[in-house]
Amino acid sequence: MQPATTTPPAGPGAPSSAPASVPPATLRQLVDAYMAAYAGRDRSRLAQLARLCELLGDRPFVSLTDDDVFRALEQLASEPARVYYGRDAAGSRILRAKPGLRSPATVNRYHAALSAVFTWAAKKRIAPRGWENPCRKVERGPEDPGVLRFLSSEECDRLLEACRESSWSRLYVLVLMALTTGARRGELLELTWGDVELERAAAHVRDSKNGHPRTLPLLPGVLDELRRFAIARPEACVFPSRGALTRPRAFESSWSAALKRARIRDFRFHDLRHTCASYLAQNGASLLEIADVMGHRQLSMVKRYAHLTTETKARLINRVLGGIK
């Protein structure tokens, strides 16, 4: 979608063929103009705004009310959740439905994206003077922090053994990388052999969730496994699908089978990331160090692990200084 343009009537001294941009009037035109100027790296923003345009209709954006926004968010909350599975050969995001509805946190992301568009419109003097952003009158939904699930050492051993026995030979190294780097599922699935430097024991995430590239250190065990599969094709995925080397693998069935074999319940692949952070916290890493490993730009994102670092410090102080009276 591109912002609309029109040709003004010819007048004295005005070239009749010179097109003049028309300020965005409809919601869709406003979203197009916003995305053309968008400098952020949130890869989901365009899809979020496109869905909101479908729900709100291609109408003058100044006519939207807080009731309209509320109803659109209610509709989003009633729709199935989707999970990111990497990109296809054309570079488009692969999203698949998963059990359950969109979480309040996800709906809040849609709310924030739409509010950012309206704020931008006011800042750029596109919105008329005195117009109020309708998102400001719609409350964000309460976000459930959920239970912080991470593997015990016994569960970790059982899971890794089950992954070794998987019919998909790369499940073990995928899980091992998630455990030892704290990388997200999408970051690992998007890795190509051009991103991996075995000699330097590093893998480069080109486009992380927060919009900044980062480097994953690779432990010796990970390097040994990666060398088994390495090929001289920089564009090929490290974890490719059966049919195409440049498309990421859909490994849900292999993952589910490994969890069942390891007798592990209520555990998601994303919880491997929590396990990495939790192990770091329990072994003396500071919140700043954990944030750096996990690729978080704000310490607030790792505060959920604060109690683990506190417990570790308490054990240390009691062991070293507990005899002082």
Position with higher pLDDT, 228 vs 84: 228
The 3 state secondary structure assigned to 213-235 is CEEEECCHHHHHHHHHHCCCCCC
Residue 53 CB-density burial (10 A; 0-12 exposed, 13-18 middle, 19+ buried): buried
- Are 175 and 114 within one domain? no
Domain-located, residue 290: yes
Which residue, 33, 67, 65, 71, is CA-closest to 49? 33
Residue 31 CB-half CA count within 13 A: 23
pLDDT of amino acid 14: 40
pLDDT of amino acid 319: 67
Which residues have CB under 8 Å from 71's CB, separation 6+?
Answer: none
Instruction: Check if the beta carbon of residue 126 is closer than 8 Å to that of residue 23.
Output: yes
* Tens-place pLDDT, residues 263-314: 999 999 999 999 999 999 888 888 888 888 888 776 767 777 777 777 766 7
247 SS3 class:
coil
- Are 157 and 126 within one domain? no
Average pLDDT, the chain: 85
CATH of the domain at 180: 1.10.443.10
- Are 175 and 272 within one domain? yes
263 SS3 class:
coil
Domain-located, residue 145: no
Angle, vertex CA 96, rays to CA 56 and CA 165, nearest 5: 160
Beta-bridged to residue 106, according to DSSP, are none
- Are 231 and 84 within one domain? no
- Are 93 and 214 within one domain? no
Which residues have CB under 8 Å from 92's CB, separation 6+?
Answer: none
Find the domain containing 252 and state its range. 153-321
- Global pTM reads 0.62
Beta-bridged to residue 21, according to DSSP, are 5
- Are 289 and 199 within one domain? yes
- Are 121 and 169 within one domain? no
- Are 173 and 313 within one domain? yes
Domain-located, residue 7: no
CA distances from 58 to 25, 55, 118 (A): 10, 9, 15
Domain-located, residue 1: no
Count of structural domains, the chain: 2
Domain-located, residue 146: no
CATH of the domain at 106: 1.10.150.130
pLDDT of amino acid 300: 66
- Are 37 and 111 within one domain? yes
* Tens-place pLDDT, residues 239-267: 999 889 999 999 999 999 999 999 999 99
Residue 246 CB-half CA count within 13 A: 8
- Alpha helices, H only, the chain: 27-37, 45-56, 66-77, 104-123, 153-164, 171-181, 185-189, 220-229, 252-262, 271-282, 287-294, 306-321
pLDDT of amino acid 6: 40
Kindly state the percentage of the chain with pLDDT values over 90.
59
Q: Cα 167 to the chain's mean position, in Å?
A: 28
Residue 245 CB-half CA count within 13 A: 11
